[in-house]
Structure 1
Amino acid sequence: MLSTSEINGKWKEYRLSNKNGISVSVLDYGGIITKLMVPDKNGNLENVVLGFKDYQEYESNPFYFGAIIGRVAGRIQGASFSIEDKAYHLEANNNANHLHGGPKGFHQVIWNVYPFENEDAVGLTLTHTSADGDRGYPGNVDVSVTYTLNNHNQLILDYAASSDQTTPLTLTNHSYFNLSGNAKENITNHYVKMDSSKFAELDHTLIPTGKLIDVTGTPFDFRKYQKIGTGFNSSFEQNSLVGNGYDHYFIFDHASEHQVIVDEPHSGRIMKVKTNQPGMVMYTANNMAEGYVLLEGTTKKYQGVCFETQGLPASLHHPGFPSILLMPGKKYKKQTVFTLNIINE
């Protein structure tokens, strides 16, 4: 089922619902997921993502709640890069670095929206053209992001793009998940299992050094279920330098059907993540400023966790990481599937 409402006289919010009671609400502004309603083991329908109570807050959206991120998700060192010996300079918005596409990135544009509905699924295709020179990036880039909610409780995000010049591009969605429902608890007791044996080491400015660290014997080893809060009180340097938690890029081994599984035992909710991206930033809201009013409660440290499936911008400065360069004539085509299960006791 699909419904639409006007927001603040300038945006539209689309609500997609399946036959099992799950629904997702998406703005044309930033492609922002504002709500994701999922039943718990007792059938209680609750929101499992963080979102602002006052939608005007999305105009600045300092936490990038729920948004499409681009052209490049993550930090670009020194807000600059070179392609074929030509230097490109971007806007610095994270100390000396360029973060999440910069000011007025994809999270702050109004996308064209094309809804669709069939027997088993309902969805939206969002499109946007980023002109040559936009935020300092080369090339005219045509982007589409499709959100599909089906009756198998899968929220599917399909990303597609093309460019007329070689340009860096890696897109993601920046939803903060909290499977306890309505942010009743923080994420400390969420269990995470991840198909990853290496992560990118960060320096004190949160820029990858170019080195990969083996997860064995560290709080980054999620190859078996581990509480996400394990890293919050750890003395391991990589946890402490990001504010006592995680804000790191994990390289997927792609040895399992699902790259991430998240289990919140109290609610009975389990979320499985499957993607063809090479890795993911897991961010545990270590540096979330307090006091912003949400749909449920106010912002606090560790109130949500992002699973930012994407390429790694550090590939622009360090060899050995998968490239994020999109060549003219080539298609960018990525998919991430969030499967929402409920364990009934």
Structure 2
Amino acid sequence: MPLHCESDHPGQYNDGTPFTRFRLRNSAGMEVDILDYGATLQALRVPDRASGKPIDLVLGFADPAQYLKGHPYFGALVGRFANRLCGARFELDGQTFQIVPNEGRNALHGGPKGLSFQRFEGALFEDSNRVGVTLTCRSSDGDMGFPGELTVTVHYSLDEDNRLAIDYEAQSSKPTVVSLTNHAYFNLHGHGDVRDHRLECAASHYLVLDDESIPTGTIAPVDDTPYDFRAPATPRAREQIECEQLWHAGGHDVALVLDRVARDQPLATLVEPESGRQLTVFTDQPSLQLYTGIGLDGTLSDHEGRPIKAFGGLALEAQQFPDAPNHAHFPSTRLEPGEYYRQHTCYRLTF
């Protein structure tokens, strides 16, 4: 089947209005499902090389209503500010903005009702070499404490080279800060422990974190740390290196500072040795958050009804530096009225 896109309504919101699910498909059998709730990447299926059976490579729920009950950002668009803000606050033009905290005293991923938990308006599109969906959401001035009415648009597109591209845009009515990402948890085996996946990442430095997982401001070399993936290695092997930061987190949850190369050059590659499936990451963002699903505890079940346990998925979140507004030497995340925030990330599958 050639490139194809369609939509359906697999359930209802609490107020009775229908969810909309958008499905993108290419001739190789790669299939992507995206929900209007949280602009969520609900599923990413590819055919198994041996059996031909579709294998879902991202964590998520079969029933869209499950996303309304709270979840660890499975496949969601994350914002208005990805990752953590220390003390759930930042200063802009001499004014302190207090964000609603949702991780102790800190704000994680934009607060408890960030973009991950908002409805988006979606529309399919197609052209000669790709199919996709454009989703838009308006976050009001003061939403979760952030200044400015922010209009966020995300374009998901799939092509015949098995590339899932995610392109983000945002505009604000007032000076504000923005950092968006997608929080897909990949498992290239389909289930099981991801720490035996092999990761290579062009990152010579990482952000040092305190015991609340907040950046201290230090950008440190990865040499002799668990965060050195410049040559292919498994997270399990890198965990054997003694490191207080890794011990505090319970595993890999770190911003890898990417070495700057052209946006069309791969910055990270993830391989599942048994199946040979490979995920290649391209982005124009300065960091890649590596998270090995430390907090997953088996209380939630995946598309097949299996418990999602710790280390059941691995996130590679392309984003600005966490807590950037509180560190003057980090890349700026400021967005002025009349300017566009733009971000491009692409995941290419080999199967």
Answer whether TM exceeds 0.5 for this pair.
yes
CA 1:233 to 1:290, structure 2 compared with 1: closer, same or farther past 3 Å? farther
Aligned to 1:241, the other structure's residue is in SS state helix
CA offsets per residue over residues 112-169 of structure 1, 9 Å max, x none? 1011122321100001111111111101111100000111110000001111211110
Aligned to 1:59, the other structure's residue is in SS state helix
Query: In structure 1, what is the Cα distance between the partners aligned to 2:123 and 2:6?
Result: 13
Q: Which moved more, 1:327-336 or 1:1-10?
A: 1-10
Q: Determine if the alignment matches structure 1 residue 99 to structure 2 residue 82.
A: no
Query: In structure 2, what is the Cα distance between the partners aligned to 1:308 and 1:249?
Result: 9
Give the conservation status (yes or no) of the 8 Å contact 1:234–1:240.
Answer: no
| Corresponding position of 1:252 | 258
| Corresponding position of 1:109 | 118
Q: Which moved more, 1:315-324 or 1:218-227?
A: 315-324
Question: Runs of at least 4 residues of structure 1 off by over 3 A?
Answer: 231-234
Q: What pairs with 1:1-345 in structure 2 (closer than 5 Å)? A: 1-9=4-12, 10-42=18-50, 43-181=52-190, 183=191, 185-243=192-250, 245-255=251-261, 257-296=265-304, 297-342=306-351
CA offsets per residue over residues 21-66 of structure 1, 9 Å max, x none? 0000010011111110013332442000001244322013321000
Aligned to 1:180, the other structure's residue is in SS state coil
> Equivalent pairs: percent with the same residue?
36
Query: Normalising by the residue count of structure 2, what TM-score does the alignment of the two structures yield?
Result: 0.93
Count of residue pairs the alignment pairs up: 339
Query: In structure 2, what is the Cα distance between the partners aligned to 1:104 and 1:237?
Result: 32
Query: Normalising by the residue count of structure 1, what TM-score does the alignment of the two structures yield?
Result: 0.95
Give the conservation status (yes or no) of the 8 Å contact 1:273–1:339.
Answer: yes
C-alpha displacement of 1:204: 0.7
Structure 1 unmatched runs, 5+: none
C-alpha displacement of 1:234: 4.1
Structure 2 counterpart of 1:252, one-letter code:
L
C-alpha displacement of 1:233: 4.5
Give the conservation status (yes or no) of the 8 Å contact 1:70–1:170.
Answer: yes
Structure 2 unmatched runs, 5+: 13-17
Query: In structure 2, what is the Cα distance between the partners aligned to 1:247 and 1:253?
Result: 19
Query: In structure 1, what is the Cα distance between the partners aligned to 2:108 and 2:176?
Result: 16
CA RMSD after TM alignment: 1.3
Query: In structure 1, what is the Cα distance between the partners aligned to 2:285 and 2:253?
Result: 17
Give the conservation status (yes or no) of the 8 Å contact 1:231–1:239.
Answer: no
Query: In structure 2, what is the Cα distance between the partners aligned to 1:82 and 1:7?
Result: 42
Query: In structure 1, what is the Cα distance between the partners aligned to 2:110 and 2:5?
Result: 30
Q: Which moved more, 1:232-241 or 1:46-55?
A: 232-241
Query: In structure 1, what is the Cα distance between the partners aligned to 2:307 and 2:285?
Result: 32
